[in-house]
Structure 1
Amino acid sequence: MGGSRDLWVRPGRVRDAALACGVLLVVAAGSLNSFIGAAEEPPARKAAGWALIVLACGALNFSRVRPVAAAALTLAATGAYYVVSVNDGALMIALIVALYLVAAEGGLRAAVVLGSLTVIGTGAGTLLGNDDVNAIALFMLTGWVVAVVALGWVRHSRLAFLEEAERRAAGEERLRIARELHDVVGHHLSLINVQAGTALHRFHRDPAQGEAALAAVKESSRTALRDLRATLGILRRADEEAPTAPPPGLDGIGELIGSARSAGLTVRGRVAEAADAPTEVGLAAYRIVQESLTNVSRHAAAAEVTVSVAHGPGELLVEVADDGPGQGPGAQSAGQRGSSGVDGMRERARALGGELTAGPGPDGGFVVRARLPYGNGASTR
């Protein structure tokens, strides 16, 4: 009972019923010859013919939930109609519509089989003496069957392509949001963790340094909340006000360096002016520096980090190098530290047509280098 009830309440049922009724009206209008200028026909035979018309057209009401079964029923009712009725009507229209709907729902093989049975059955009727269908009419019917099946399959393929494109776009958007959240939350939580540990360690020995570390924790948490709200702004509904704060860029790298210093790292920075980089390039550089500093504070036993952001010919060059154990027994773990973060940095660089490498440096430590082209003819202003 529940299954049949769901069959009637699912979305699109009104549209299917309207289609069935519309086809029934057209077929009925084309079958009035059974009343107007009709050949002699027993009333019972005429009633059976119209019952088959209603059955064949009514089956279209289920053509979207059971397309093959509905088309098979329409085919059987249509065949029986042309055998029973003396005054042939336009019921073939319902069968043509049913074949189209089977192909449009993805049942290409079933549509081909049912279409072949339609042509074969009609041809057999012609051979058995049905003078209403000659060779030319049979050829035209074959053309109609091939055309509607092809049109139905084209529609199905187009809808499948659009659905796949939407699915991919949604997946890419989810990955982009996940990458932004990882960069924002991961960076600030790592700094908060380091700074809180420093505060606990220094609180009794050097209250002044402990207080400074707690102040840094407060500042990092405030910045984390601000950046998280800005990132989550992209998930707002269309009727909500969009965030007005500009995305972080080269101007914000100095703040990242300051946060790293407050976590106990010695950071040397050489950052180019922001005016020469397009917005998307500046954002990528900011996130790469942010993730690199996060990995250093979280995974590397480094005391000093060098951050370099410079303009090249039509591109931005980013380098973050630390003096941690980039070689020797710990090199593999250092190379794999924050692997999801390194992958995210590479994705950012590739999205701009650039590249990023991360690994042990020639003189020890760990080095992240990125080349970020301005791309797509973006002006360097």
Structure 2
Amino acid sequence: MGLDGRSGVERRRSGWRETAADVPLALALLAVGLVGTGPATAEQGVTADGAAYAPVVVAALALAVRRRWPFGTLAVTVLAATAYLVLGYPYGPILLSLLVAVYTVAAHRALRPAAIGAAVALALLTVHVFVGPSSPGLLGLMPAAAWVVVPFAVGSTVRLSREAAARGRAEEARRLADGERLRVAQEVHDVVGHGLAAIHMQAEIALHLLEKRPEQAHTALAAISGTSKEALDELRVTLAVVRRGGDAAERAPAPGLGQVPALRERLAGAGLPVTVRTEGEPSALPVALDLAAYRVVQESLTNVLRHAGPATAAVRIRYAPTEVEVEVTDTGRGVAEAGRVPAGSGLAGMRERVTALGGSFAAGPAADGGFRVHARLPLEERS
């Protein structure tokens, strides 16, 4: 593998493709040179002979490999153009070949080596200003320099624009990758965090009952088994979506508000009584919105299980024509007490989920004590 990540075979194939694409340009400039050199020299009272056409042919044909070997092409064309001008022939189509060669170096090579190559080309091209049978003198410096400076400036601008576009694409790719990693991290956090919190609470219950009422400890252990299996299944689905992309997402339905009753049953087994109230007519929701609403409910209840102490929780889900509203309240310890800090407990992740879909999110102390999480998610299409 090379520094650009391509193998030698790939680079050779790319080089030959570039050559095949450059051959038509070289042949076109060759035709222009053969047809136009005679009239161009005749206008200046000079007759074009074989010595005039030979550099024209060499300069044009060198362009067939201009992108494969830019500096080599520039060297050949500038030497051919210099020889043409030193022999006393006036400016003509041969300078078009030089123009393309200078542009190619500036557009396809780094600025410093390209500038050095262009400077050498300019120095060689201006030789005819001081030597030769029809030297134009110092007045010839300006037009000679224009045939190098102008294509070099255009080529450098094109290269800088291309590099800026490439950086923009790379930055966009990084942004999308970071967004995907954040999404996956939120999913794994919600799945694993909820499962472990429920298992921890059920294990505490089992340990408490094991010595005093061992027959009831079996129920808690069974709940641990069921919760861990469900958490593992959901984690497996999440990771499968990451590995396989959209196909896995289509095969494995994402969690949604329809699974809130099952969530309530799991938490009841972990010692957290949860009531669920639904307002309005439940309807099919967009997958992303349904998942976000479910995760808000799941993470809020997980926080109650972790931080609220002995408490009950209430979930309210309201379906409206233009939005879905979810609210989770609990009767546990207030936020001022240890362990109930609004800035933590996954609230940032819930807020990001909701706001990313154009919704609103609020979390804080409930009016009658405990804690309240409230989210609104719009159903209408966002512009």
> What TM-score, normalized by structure 2, do the two folds share?
0.73
Determine if the alignment matches structure 1 residue 303 to structure 2 residue 311: yes
Amino acid at match of 1:80: L
Residue 233 of structure 1: CA displacement?
Answer: 3.2
Report the equivalent of 2:78: 79
Report the equivalent of 2:381: 376
Residue 10 of structure 1: CA displacement?
Answer: 7.4
Which deviates further from its counterpart, 369-378 or 219-228?
A: 369-378
DSSP 3-state at the match of 1:264 = coil
Give the 5 Å matches for 1:279-298.
279=286, 280-298=288-306
Report the equivalent of 2:42: none
Report the equivalent of 2:41: none
Determine if the alignment matches structure 1 residue 319 to structure 2 residue 319: no
Report the equivalent of 1:96: 100
Residue 362 of structure 1: CA displacement?
Answer: 3.7
| Alignment counterpart, residue 230 of structure 1, candidates 210, 221, 237 | 237
Residue 262 of structure 1: CA displacement?
Answer: 0.9
Report the equivalent of 1:263: 270
Determine if the alignment matches structure 1 residue 342 to structure 2 residue 347: yes
Residue 371 of structure 1: CA displacement?
Answer: 1.6
Residue 323 of structure 1: CA displacement?
Answer: 2.5
C-alpha distance in 1, partners of 2:282/2:196? 30
Amino acid at match of 2:326: V
DSSP 3-state at the match of 2:282 = helix
Residue 164 of structure 1: CA displacement?
Answer: 2.6
Residue 137 of structure 1: CA displacement?
Answer: 9.2
Please list every run of 5 or more consecutive structure 2 residues that lacks an aligned counterpart in the other structure.
Answer: 39-46
Which deviates further from its counterpart, 201-210 or 79-88?
A: 79-88
Counterpart contact for 1:354–1:372, Cα < 8 Å:
yes
Figure out how many residues of one structure are paired with residues of the other and give that number: 356
Which deviates further from its counterpart, 224-233 or 208-217?
A: 224-233
Residue 122 of structure 1: CA displacement?
Answer: 4.9
Determine if the alignment matches structure 1 residue 161 to structure 2 residue 165: no
Q: Identify if the C-alpha distance between structure 1 residues 159 and 40 changes in structure 2 by more than 3 Å, giving closer, same or farther.
A: same
Residue 11 of structure 1: CA displacement?
Answer: 4.1
Kindly provide the CA deviation profile for residues 182-223 of structure 1, in whole angstroms up to 9, marking residues without a partner as x.
Answer: 112221122112212221221221123211111111211221
Residue 263 of structure 1: CA displacement?
Answer: 0.6
DSSP 3-state at the match of 1:61 = coil
Counterpart contact for 1:96–1:145, Cα < 8 Å:
no
Give the 5 Å matches for 1:182-261.
182-237=189-244, 243-261=250-268
Amino acid at match of 2:300: S
Kindly provide the CA deviation profile for residues 247-292 of structure 1, in whole angstroms up to 9, marking residues without a partner as x.
Answer: 2222111111111111111222213467336233322111101111
Which deviates further from its counterpart, 143-152 or 302-311?
A: 143-152
C-alpha distance in 2, partners of 1:274/1:283? 18
Counterpart contact for 1:99–1:114, Cα < 8 Å:
no
Percent identical pairs in the alignment equals: 32
Amino acid at match of 1:157: A
C-alpha distance in 2, partners of 1:172/1:111? 39
Counterpart contact for 1:192–1:217, Cα < 8 Å:
yes
Determine if the alignment matches structure 1 residue 276 to structure 2 residue 283: yes
C-alpha distance in 1, partners of 2:283/2:75? 73
C-alpha distance in 2, partners of 1:214/1:81? 89
Residue 349 of structure 1: CA displacement?
Answer: 0.6
Report the equivalent of 2:15: 16
Counterpart contact for 1:250–1:273, Cα < 8 Å:
no
Kindly provide the CA deviation profile for residues 57-83 of structure 1, in whole angstroms up to 9, marking residues without a partner as x.
Answer: 7684366xxxxxx4xx65455433333
Which deviates further from its counterpart, 76-85 or 53-62?
A: 53-62
C-alpha distance in 2, partners of 1:375/1:7? 47
C-alpha distance in 2, partners of 1:343/1:127? 74
Report the equivalent of 1:67: none
Please give the root-mean-square deviation of Cα atoms over the aligned residues, in Å.
4.4
DSSP 3-state at the match of 1:353 = coil
C-alpha distance in 2, partners of 1:237/1:94? 52
C-alpha distance in 1, partners of 2:312/2:7? 70
Counterpart contact for 1:249–1:283, Cα < 8 Å:
yes
Counterpart contact for 1:99–1:115, Cα < 8 Å:
no
Kindly provide the CA deviation profile for residues 231-259 of structure 1, in whole angstroms up to 9, marking residues without a partner as x.
Answer: 22323447966643432222111111111
DSSP 3-state at the match of 2:380 = coil
Counterpart contact for 2:354–2:360, Cα < 8 Å:
yes
DSSP 3-state at the match of 2:261 = helix
